[in-house]
Structure 1
């Protein structure tokens, strides 16, 4: 198709019957983004949603099927933001999703302080390594490492965007959970739900989903874990339902 560039392809978001522009050399979404969209509370008709570190717009696209409220994606990389805009246009969602190509650390004045109902974020997981150890592909390096923003940046901005009682949702690595919880509480986001994701039944968790409420009361729930693969190597019924909208 004419709007695809270079090695881009048009993939299916099967459960939501949408299409998304992807590129193996620039950005392709992973299961963590799908799980974040599934985990997050999505208001049906009132409020607004901001997705930070939006990449090619996968989280806004996924949640768009479940709400009538406006959704804003924030992405600093021009190529990824452009991919997201083309996916939004292809799916005829321009009236619902707006992509903002901007450093998330500067976006609060534009979007409004303490105005939004929900913030989602799939941030870079790893602290910035020495330049010699970074991925030579700058697109992938920025997506994976805290080159353009830190975990603290994302939590501070999420809190600033949320109105009182608003919900912030993050997906990250379990080894940074205590850091996440400390930063959330320091920024008026009271942790309320935590869910671990395991690649297999007897394997350690390799992802964690966390929800916090702006100025919420104390008390956190630990949800049943998600197991991604079964003993034969295929997806579990739970993950099939999330990915494809069916469990068989």
Structure 2
């Protein structure tokens, strides 16, 4: 079957574009919001993205800080092929290093070889637990791997990250709100303290469906909730994003 690859803009009012395979995982609002949510400053110079897929998140983050170096790991070869195209397209080769590997092997090798630890780790993880009827879903295997815990689950991401992150390093996620307690519990289990939480709602009169979580490794307690994000106006016939959300679709530049 031939691949359906199309070129899409990445964010608003930017020169960023990505090639995407419509049969695989495609970036959405959660990718963009996570890209602008994570803390970047002069102390964050070396970042790891777990599950890079087509490279959209790493490219967006690299645009925020031209001095940032990013390792982007991905287990699927087809996704890495797209990511390579997208890194070249956006001229981020000097910032982003793509790694084809299983994170469960990668963090062990990284730790065993005593390679430099990361200042920050970011992940838009497989959202859903593996279900008994997963094979019946009308989706490609590549999409199922990106969205379900087939190759990598939340606990493996957090426990592995604890081995390769600096003290007080940042570990950040975007996950479904229904999995927030799972995430917070596992973070504490592996010595990460949840520091910032931001709820995302489709509209003001609807339930939250996504949450942004930023934690720090081996640091003091204390969690703060940022202002809620409401994506759309309450009028269900209008599907465009609110003005404040459109602003979040632009990479927030870092001043060093």
Answer yes or no: same fold by TM over 0.5.
yes
Distance in 1 (CA, whole Å) between partners of 2:80 and 2:142 is 12
Task: Check the 8 A contact 1:45/1:69 in 2, yes or no.
Answer: no
Task: Check the 8 A contact 1:44/1:66 in 2, yes or no.
Answer: no
State how many pairs are aligned: 242
Are residues 144 and 46 of structure 1, via their aligned partners in 2, closer, same or farther at CA, if it must alter by over 3 Å? closer
CA shift digits 1:209-236 (9 cap, x unpaired):
1011001111000111100011342211
CA RMSD of aligned residues (A): 1.9
2:30 to 27, 32, 37: 32
Distance in 2 (CA, whole Å) between partners of 1:98 and 1:245 is 20
Question: TM (normalized to structure 1)?
Answer: 0.91
* Corresponding position: 1:82 with 2:81: yes
Question: Which runs of no fewer than 5 residues in structure 2 stay unpaired?
Answer: none
Are residues 26 and 163 of structure 1, via their aligned partners in 2, closer, same or farther at CA, if it must alter by over 3 Å? same
Distance in 2 (CA, whole Å) between partners of 1:101 and 1:172 is 23
Q: Which moved more, 1:108-117 or 1:156-165?
A: 108-117
Distance in 1 (CA, whole Å) between partners of 2:11 and 2:126 is 25
Deviation at 1:175, TM superposition (A): 1.1
Match of 1:122 in 2: 124
Which gives a bigger RCO, structure 1 or 2 (Cα 8 Å, sep 6+)?
Answer: 2
Task: Check the 8 A contact 1:27/1:139 in 2, yes or no.
Answer: yes
* Corresponding position: 1:14 with 2:11: yes
Q: Which moved more, 1:129-138 or 1:219-228?
A: 129-138
Deviation at 1:244, TM superposition (A): 4.8
Q: Which moved more, 1:200-209 or 1:11-20?
A: 11-20
Deviation at 1:245, TM superposition (A): 6.9
Distance in 1 (CA, whole Å) between partners of 2:43 and 2:128 is 36
Are residues 175 and 14 of structure 1, via their aligned partners in 2, closer, same or farther at CA, if it must alter by over 3 Å? closer
Structure 1 moving runs of 4+ over 4 Å: 109-114
Match of 2:243 in 1: 237
Task: Check the 8 A contact 2:192/2:216 in 1, yes or no.
Answer: yes
Distance in 2 (CA, whole Å) between partners of 1:189 and 1:26 is 31
Distance in 1 (CA, whole Å) between partners of 2:109 and 2:68 is 18
Deviation at 1:63, TM superposition (A): 0.7
Are residues 49 and 137 of structure 1, via their aligned partners in 2, closer, same or farther at CA, if it must alter by over 3 Å? same
Question: TM (normalized to structure 2)?
Answer: 0.89
1:214 to 190, 214, 217: 217
Match of 1:160 in 2: 163
Query: What secondary structure sits across from 2:162 in the alignment?
Result: helix
